């Protein structure tokens, strides 16, 4: 497995800014608000011919393990656990404020764990900060690397220190060849295979399916991520807005590799303001843009809200595949089992398949839910999301684990549908039949159709008057196209061009 370099320090010393600077991507949210970073963030760093995993943690303050609120306590527990697994520690202090009691407490923990440590003093922007370096030397962790993350000063020196520190740890660093590809080794442990090594699968070498877990606040997105992984990867609490950053985690299921992207709960823009929720919302939109399929998580114990609809509409506009995940089914009272067709969990892409009607199994061992509750929720979903009639629905419980892994089977089929190509000959046979049934209005004459893109499938209809094609006829063509050719779980785009 890759060596882990963990950035630690008290709140607001610039850990997330340093993480962004070293990774070369503005991945972590940065702000002057203490406690902005909650879940740890991880990025794979390739520096020259060496590779390691860089981890950003929440600000350490051991006093909050007992006195803090639930989010602060979980942040401290997570940071402490990551620190215990570290190969090398980058201890970041604030040269402007000097050394505080919290810094001394962190030093005690590092010494107790006997971790190799690189000391870095941030915000060394001028001679005034140089005066504080004497107190920083007093920590007994060697000479500090003077850096200014904001101005990029001292970053190269810090990178060299990290590489030297990893070598001193006597670890076999992954060596990269001239092309940047990792050289083969005689053995790779399970974690390496899971998180680093590209996996061979039917879709192609090293392909990663990117899944964005999206939804409004407190529908159980982070709980679902934890249930997939079987560990407390993301901090979970009843407090709305617990997750701020997008959390990327590689995961392997059935010999396929996925990138799970946990996102912050979205609120109305009018309620976000310009603070952390606004920044988190921007991260969610970017996560959707870089995903292949979105898991739209709904709260099965509550009504579908306007915000659920807004999020679904944004996913649709982005052209991403969709699987509707109804969570918290464990909160519904158990009465009678689901009907036999639902228990089988069969997946079909035929026109009359249960999936296209929203009748989808949740698991080979589904919860004993009231039949009317299942049917009632499916009816509500159909009414509230008429524009997602083609999206499959799966009922799960992140709390009990029921149905969660069936999500990946559905996602795999959606990915296949997004990449399907239809020959021009077959499309024009379809066009001939559909126009015989219903001619386009307003004097429009469609000459031919061809598929121009995949992911999402995009079709160009060449006609004499593209501006006169009414939206109702567009919808008619899309519905007939889906009836004939499928494209289950993915948006379909129709473009009308002048011949």
Q: Which CATH number covers residue 480? A: 3.30.300.20
Higher model confidence: residue 108 or residue 340? 108
**Res 370: pLDDT:** 55
367 pLDDT band (50/70/90 cuts)? very low
**Res 72: pLDDT:** 59
**Mean pLDDT for the stretch of residues 101-119:** 86
Residue 183 included in any domain: no
| Percent of the chain surpassing pLDDT 70 | 70
Q: How far is the C-alpha of 135 from the C-alpha of 443, rounded, in Å? A: 83
Q: Are residues 445 and 319 in the same domain?
A: no
Phi/psi of residue 442, nearest 5 degrees: 60, 30
Find the range with the poorest average confidence among 56-70, 186-200, 260-274, 469-483: 186-200
CATH code of residue 244: 3.40.50.300
pTM of full prediction above 0.75: no
Q: Are residues 353 and 459 in the same domain?
A: no
User: What is the span of the domain harbouring residue 452?
Assistant: 424-498
Mean model confidence pLDDT for the chain: 76
Higher model confidence: residue 181 or residue 445? 445
The pLDDT of residue 24 is above 70? yes
Find the range with the poorest average confidence among 31-35, 122-126, 357-361, 366-370: 357-361
**Res 284: pLDDT:** 81
Residue 193 included in any domain: no
Q: Which of 103-117, 234-248, 310-324, 351-365 has the highest mean pLDDT?
A: 310-324
**Res 115: pLDDT:** 85
**Residue-wise pLDDT tens digits, 445-465:** 999 999 999 999 999 999 999
Residue 186 included in any domain: no
Residue 89 included in any domain: yes
Phi/psi of residue 333, nearest 5 degrees: -70, 135
Residue 178 included in any domain: no
Overall domain count for the chain: 3
Q: Are residues 10 and 144 in the same domain?
A: yes
Q: Are residues 240 and 332 in the same domain?
A: yes
**Res 201: pLDDT:** 34
The pLDDT of residue 111 is above 80? yes
State which of 379, 398, 418 marks the end of a domain. Answer: 418
108 pLDDT band (50/70/90 cuts)? confident
State which of 418, 433, 453 marks the end of a domain. Answer: 418
Q: Are residues 213 and 346 in the same domain?
A: yes
The pLDDT of residue 154 is above 50? yes
**Res 229: pLDDT:** 84
Q: Are residues 349 and 408 in the same domain?
A: yes
**Res 84: pLDDT:** 83
**Res 348: pLDDT:** 36
Q: How far is the C-alpha of 317 from the C-alpha of 491, rounded, in Å? A: 9
Residue 323 included in any domain: yes
As beta bridge partners, residue 459 has: 451, 494
Q: Are residues 48 and 159 in the same domain?
A: yes
188 pLDDT band (50/70/90 cuts)? very low
Residue 358 included in any domain: yes
Q: Are residues 150 and 164 in the same domain?
A: yes
Higher model confidence: residue 355 or residue 412? 412
Residue 161 burial (CB count, 10 A): 19
Higher model confidence: residue 221 or residue 79? 221
Q: Are residues 303 and 244 in the same domain?
A: yes
State which of 147, 168, 189 marks the end of a domain. Answer: 168
**Res 56: pLDDT:** 83
Find the range with the poorest average confidence among 126-130, 279-283, 350-354: 350-354
Q: Are residues 360 and 431 in the same domain?
A: no
Q: Are residues 384 and 465 in the same domain?
A: no
**Mean pLDDT for the stretch of residues 411-431:** 95
Residue 253 burial (CB count, 10 A): 15
Residue 180 included in any domain: no
Higher model confidence: residue 367 or residue 449? 449
| Percent of the chain surpassing pLDDT 90 | 25
The pLDDT of residue 232 is above 80? no
The pLDDT of residue 387 is above 50? yes
The pLDDT of residue 398 is above 90? no
Q: Are residues 223 and 289 in the same domain?
A: yes
């Amino acid at each position: 497995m890759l060596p882990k370099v963990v950035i630690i320090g008290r709140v607001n010393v610039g850990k997330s800014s340093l993480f962004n600077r070293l990774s070369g991507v503005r991945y972590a949210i940065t702000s002057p608000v203490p406690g902005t970073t909650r879940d740890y963030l991880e990025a794979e760093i390739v520096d020259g011919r060496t590779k390691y995993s860089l981890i950003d943690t929440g600000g350490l303050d051991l006093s909050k393990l007992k006195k803090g609120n639930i989010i602060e306590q979980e942040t401290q527990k997570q940071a402490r656990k990551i620190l215990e697994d570290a190969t090398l520690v980058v201890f970041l202090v604030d040269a402007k404020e000097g050394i505080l009691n919290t810094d001394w407490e962190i030093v005690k923990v590092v010494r107790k764990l006997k971790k190799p440590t690189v000391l870095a003093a941030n915000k060394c922007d001028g001679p005034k900060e140089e005066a504080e370096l004497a107190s920083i030397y007093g920590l007994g962790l060697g000479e500090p690397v003077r850096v200014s993350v904001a101005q990029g000063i001292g970053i190269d020196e810090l990178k060299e220190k990290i590489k030297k520190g990893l070598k001193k740890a006597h670890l076999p660093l992954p060596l990269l060849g001239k092309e940047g590809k990792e050289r083969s080794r005689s053995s790779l442990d399970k974690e390496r295979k899971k998180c680093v090594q590209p996996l061979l699968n039917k879709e192609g070498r090293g392909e990663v399916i990117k899944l964005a877990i999206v939804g409004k606040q407190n529908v159980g997105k982070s709980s679902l991520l934890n249930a997939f992984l079987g560990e407390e990867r993301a901090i979970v609490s009843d407090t709305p807005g617990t997750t701020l950053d997008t959390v990327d985690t590689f995961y392997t299921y059935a010999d396929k590799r996925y990138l799970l992207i946990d996102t912050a709960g979205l609120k109305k823009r009018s309620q976000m303001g310009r603070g952390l929720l606004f920044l988190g919302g921007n991260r969610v939109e970017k996560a959707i843009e870089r995903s292949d399929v979105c898991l739209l998580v709904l709260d099965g114990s509550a009504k579908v809200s306007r915000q659920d609809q807004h999020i679904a509409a944004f996913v649709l506009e982005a052209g991403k595949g969709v699987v509707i995940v109804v969570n918290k089914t464990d909160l519904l009272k158990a009465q009678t089992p689901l009907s036999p067709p639902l228990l089988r969990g069969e997946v079909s892409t035929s026109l009359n398949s249960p999936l296209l009607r929203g009748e989808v199994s949740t698991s080979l061992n589904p919860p004993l839910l009231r039949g009317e509750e299942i049917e009632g929720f499916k009816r509500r979903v159909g009414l509230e999301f008429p524009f997602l009639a083609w999206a499959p629905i799966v009922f799960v419980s992140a709390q009990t684990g029921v149905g969660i892994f069936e999500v990946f089977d559905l996602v795999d089929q959606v990915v296949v549908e997004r990449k399907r190509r239809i020959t021009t000959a077959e499309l024009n046979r379809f066009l001939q039949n559909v126009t015989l049934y219903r001619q386009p209005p307003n004097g429009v004459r469609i000459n031919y159709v061809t598929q121009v893109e995949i992911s999402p499938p995009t079709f160009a209809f060449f006609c004499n008057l593209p501006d006169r094609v009414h939206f109702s006829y567009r919808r008619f063509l899309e519905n007939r196209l889906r009836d004939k050719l499928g494209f289950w779980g993915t948006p379909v785009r129709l473009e009308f061009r002048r011949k």
